[in-house]
Amino acid sequence: MSSPTPPPAALPSLATTPLEQPPGDAEAALHKASSPKVSSPKASSSKASSPKASSPKGASPRAVHSLQHILNPVDDEDVPEPLQVDDAYGPDDNDNDSTYGSDSATNYTGSVSSSIYHYQYENGRRYHAYREGQYVLPNDDQEQERLDLQHHIWRLLLRGSLYTAPLPSPPAEAEDPPADGSLRILDLGCGTGIWAIDMADEFPHAHVYGVDLSPIQPDWVPPNCKFHVDDYEDAWTYGPDERFDYIHGRALSGTSGDWARFYRNVREHLVPGGYVEMQEYDAWIFSDDDSMARAPWTTEWVEKLDKASHMFGKPINIARFHKQWMQDAGIRP
């Protein structure tokens, strides 16, 4: 987690949180949950992961499946009825290509309303439909590529790791599917799902869940990975027996207008001894010399961007506040 003096923009601000242990170093970022432990239910899928494969640009596999063969001119009565696309699978322009391919239905829980695929378009970009306007960035192919690149940058910063919390090492031979009581992991604002998928591969004995406003995750995922389309600013729908051992969030700046409530939800949904880890960067531009003084327009741009985020009600320059927000919610070092 960042100190009161903001670090250079290239370095992330990390906060990892366990609850009610004696506080250690003032800058330590580990906190544990102190609520009664509740066993977790089984939550698994029978689908197997597949090799990485990208979908063709410009047409989703569902669109390809609905195409008719090109026929030579014949009488109208000989032309077969066109196939109908089931709206439950989204429109044909769904940009659901990913590193895991897309020949099977995404591992969502329950049925998915077609309305979440009725994306909004503005200035040549595509935006989420569920809770329209709650998140300012697009969800199209261009944005998905940026998110996946960002994921790889984070892994470089963390020396190849996906997390810094002291999670138990995966067993030599994982159960398939995971058994009751297995590690439960939640990824908030999962985006393309790339972190959740990598985590599910690394912890095949765990149940990994990803939550996002956009259904842009791949169709082929590990059998122990599931995605939910939901807004984590609302009341969380997980029951008392569905608490998590580890809750992860990354680059969530600009996504919440009430971080106090956010961390209360996190606190209430951690098992005792569970961890919460927030990986965040400072939404500011720094320099170790006078180069910023020679770039006044860049300085003005980032200042106005920060001001606009406050006017929108979801500030972006928040990395240095996460530790205090956690402690205010009862998450202790």
HEC string for 58-122: CCCHHHHHCCCCCCCCCCHHHCCCCCCCCHHHCCCCCCCCCCECCCCCCCECCCCCHHHHCCEEE
Cis peptide bond upstream of 177, omega within 30? yes
Beta-carbon neighbour count of residue 186 at 10 Å? 28
Q: So what's the pLDDT on residue 291?
A: 86
Q: So what's the pLDDT on residue 112?
A: 56
Under DSSP, the state recorded for 47 is P
Cα–Cα dist 271/281, whole Å: 27
Which 3 state secondary structure label does DSSP give 310?
Answer: helix
Burial bucket for residue 285 (CB in 10 Å: 0-12, 13-18, 19+): middle
Q: So what's the pLDDT on residue 173?
A: 65
Q: Which residues pair with 122 in a beta bridge?
A: 125
Distances in Å between the Cα of 111 and the Cα atoms of 89, 187, 243, 318 are 10, 21, 23, 35
**333 CB contacts (<8 Å, ≥6 apart)?**
18, 21, 22, 23, 24, 28, 30, 31, 327
Q: What are phi and psi of 187, to 5 degrees?
A: -110, 115
Q: So what's the pLDDT on residue 152?
A: 98
CATH number of 12-52+120-328: 3.40.50
Q: So what's the pLDDT on residue 102?
A: 38
Q: Which residues pair with 14 in a beta bridge?
A: 279
C-alpha of 298 from chain center:
29
Under DSSP, the state recorded for 48 is P
Distances in Å between the Cα of 170 and the Cα atoms of 95, 101, 298, 319 are 34, 26, 46, 30
Cα–Cα dist 87/66, whole Å: 12
One pLDDT digit (tens) per residue for the chain, 333 residues? 433 444 434 344 444 444 444 333 333 344 444 433 333 433 334 343 444 443 334 443 333 333 333 333 334 444 444 434 344 434 444 444 434 443 334 444 444 578 899 999 999 999 999 888 889 999 999 999 999 999 999 999 999 999 999 998 876 665 566 666 689 999 999 999 999 999 999 999 999 999 999 999 999 999 999 999 999 998 898 988 899 999 999 999 999 999 999 999 999 999 999 999 999 999 888 888 888 888 899 999 999 999 999 999 999 999 999 999 999 999 986
Cα–Cα dist 104/65, whole Å: 12
Cα–Cα dist 324/313, whole Å: 19
Which 3 state secondary structure label does DSSP give 198?
Answer: helix
Distances in Å between the Cα of 25 and the Cα atoms of 31, 97, 332 are 12, 44, 12
Q: So what's the pLDDT on residue 120?
A: 92
The DSSP line for 122-138 is ETTEEE--TTTTSS-S-
**What pTM was estimated for this model as a whole?**
0.67
Helix (H), strand (E) counts: the chain:
6, 8
Q: So what's the pLDDT on residue 50?
A: 40
